[in-house]
Structure 1
């Protein structure tokens, strides 16, 4: 069943209205016909099944609210080049990231090139993965400000330790959100890494090779997502 974004999902029996881009994709590209069913989500946990009726009308058949996750995964990330960031946003949504905080690091080169498309890309990732919660993109901060936020919110945080010797031993800490910190293409500076370690952020090594920013972001998120799932099962 195809999934579409719908800002406001009405009660069962009522007609839903899609944005023009979603409407055109459903009826002009996919040529939806009466009797077809589609899934809708509003990005805030409300999901529904709607049936296509005559005159290109979508009528809600059923709807429900998905509970917010008890533990959330956050990404703190330096900004890659535009095309790479586009792909990263979709993949972050697919992995169920709750928020994306942009980082301006000492070695940062790329700057945000406009956010007009960002929510569209996040919606695409959510639609593909059936993630009912649209990640939020938060304003850019320096690593020191990110650390203050992480401490205040008592988040278990990890950064990409290229040097395996800087990776922290795995410690089992029950509960709490997880965060993954990813530096720019040149990596975090030694001073930034030392500040992370002093603040209790743990190094996580993803292998013997140097990864691109967007590769490290996705791999680290996947590893932490698995850790969170493993803790939940215990």
Structure 2
């Protein structure tokens, strides 16, 4: 059974009082006193300890702590379309080891009435944490506030730079653990002017399948393709 705690709160021999949400989680799961639980702080910290009920709040006495190494950097930058679809994307990205999710404001996202906005980002960050509680990953992805494509491309980006495009080449067979960035357009894709900016920034087009994918499906396919390519490199 896993619970979430604030980053940096895990100390060997310490006692952590779980917040209301995590206490409720243990109650719903019918946890019993002295049950062993795993604690995740979303920033690499993993601990184990015994849970005990104190009044209506659960506490955990920590008897083992581990700081796991960071994941290989993988940024998925996606046109900030429908916020509910984006929420699903964030959950799957967390499960697949994406380290950063960047919602992009593009010409075509401006016309989406239900598009992701700044005020929705806290909910996405919560969703990312819930996803690692399910998957067991020690690291939650960073979820950035929506920003323009131009601002994103202006960043210094090393490593692999890939653009999801149904007309592109096959995804790389192997990738090392260095930084990787995958750009994914909104519904309708990037405009010609945006595509020119992307091409000038050195992004290589890759096809994630034979057909045009929704942005959230493309993000999952891209994360899986990178994970598989890195796995091949790691195993020779």
Question: Under a length normalisation based on structure 1, what TM-score does the superposition of the two structures give?
Answer: 0.88
Which residue of 164, 168, 187 corresponds with 1:160? Answer: 164
Decide which moves more: 187-196 or 203-212.
187-196
1:9 partner SS:
coil
The match for 1:23 is 23
Deviates more, 1:81-90 or 1:111-120: 111-120
The structure with more strand, counted as a fraction of residues: 2
CA deviation map 1:27-67 (0-9, x unaligned): x2122111211110111111001112353431112111101
Cα distance per residue 1:192-219 (max 9 Å; x no partner): 2233223210111012211111111111
Deviation at 1:229, TM superposition (A): 2.2
Corresponding residue number in structure 1 for 2:88: 87
SS in 1 for 2:38: strand
Q: CA deviation at 1:75?
A: 0.9
- Comparing 36-45 with 79-88, which one deviates more in the overlay? 79-88
Measured in 2, the distance between the counterparts of 1:230 and 1:172 equals 6
Counting only pairs closer than 5 Å after superposition, residues 28-43 of structure 1 correspond to structure 2 as 28-43=27-42
Gaps of 5+ in 1: none
5 Å-filtered alignment, 1:185-200, equals 185-200=187-202
Give the alignment's TM-score, normalised by structure 2: 0.87
Matches within 5 A, 1:1-234: 2-7=1-6, 8-26=8-26, 28-53=27-52, 55=54, 56-69=58-71, 71-108=72-109, 109=112, 110-112=115-117, 114-149=120-155, 152-163=156-167, 166-167=168-169, 170=172, 176-234=178-236
Q: 1:221 to 1:173 in 2, by over 3 A?
A: closer
State the alpha-carbon separation in 1 of the partners of residues 130 and 9 from structure 2. Answer: 18
Q: Is the 8 A contact 2:172 2:229 kept in 1?
A: no
Structure-2 separation of matches of 1:211 and 1:155: 25
| Unaligned runs of at least 5 residues, structure 2 | none
Shift of 1:116: 3.2
Are residues 218 and 170 of structure 1, via their aligned partners in 2, closer, same or farther at CA, if it must alter by over 3 Å?
closer
Alpha-carbon RMSD across the aligned residues, in angstroms, is 2.1
Residue 173 of structure 1, CA deviation? 6.6
- In the alignment of these two chains, the number of paired residues is 227
Q: 1:211 to 1:54 in 2, by over 3 A?
A: closer
